[in-house]
Amino acid sequence: MDRTAPSDPGTPPIRYVESLDSIEPAHLHGFFAGWRHPFAPDEHLRMLEGSDRVVLAIDTETARVVGFVAALTDGVQGAFITLLEVLPAFQGQGVGQALMTRMLERLSDIQTIELMCDAGLVPFYARFGMTPASGMVLRRREP
């Protein structure tokens, strides 16, 4: 699926896609901003290929991926949103909201959607009807 959303004047038009067709590591630079151990673009692409659902935001002027969200699901009961990120230069323009909205539409047949996030992001995810819950995590390497 391929949808182009209207953008503010001065910001490039963003196309939202739900497949990895034509996506190469070169389109995936600049993500994992602020991570101590950021994934390289080729690892990022492998991560997206290993996901059950992905939505990408693409700058139509450069073909560069400027935001993405990925999820794993059993197809019935549960889905876990593994990563959501918008490149810093594209934040605050509605891209994160559009990615989450599209991903939740793609997971509309799944009963429970989960993700882990820092406390500061609770208000962002609450916009989609999500509520805080406790969880456990084993990090083999600090992000």
Q: Given the complex with ligand COA, which of 11 and 112 has the nearer CB atom?
A: 11
Asked whether the CA dihedral 72, 139, 143, 135 is positive or negative, the reply is: positive
Q: 57-116: which residues touch ligand COA (CB under 6 A)?
A: 84-86, 91-97
Binding status of residue 123 toward ligand COA by CB under 6 A: yes
Q: Given the complex with ligand COA, which of 83 and 110 has the nearer CB atom?
A: 83
Binding status of residue 121 toward ligand COA by CB under 6 A: yes
Q: Given the complex with ligand COA, which of 32 and 52 has the nearer CB atom?
A: 32
Q: In the numeric block, which tokens belong to residue 54?
A: 């992905």
Least spacing, CB of residue 141 vs ligand COA, in Å: 17
Question: What is the spatial distance between Cα 128 and Cα 21, in angstroms, rounded to a whole number?
Answer: 28
Count Cβ atoms below 10 Å from residue 121 Cβ, excluding itself.
Answer: 13
* Bridge partners for 113 per DSSP: 79
Residues sharing a CB contact under 8 Å with residue 103, sequence separation 6 or more, in sequence order: 53, 55, 69, 71, 81, 84
Binding status of residue 120 toward ligand COA by CB under 6 A: yes
Q: Would you tell me which residues interact with ligand COA (CB under 6 A)?
A: 84-86, 91-97, 117, 120-121, 123-124, 127
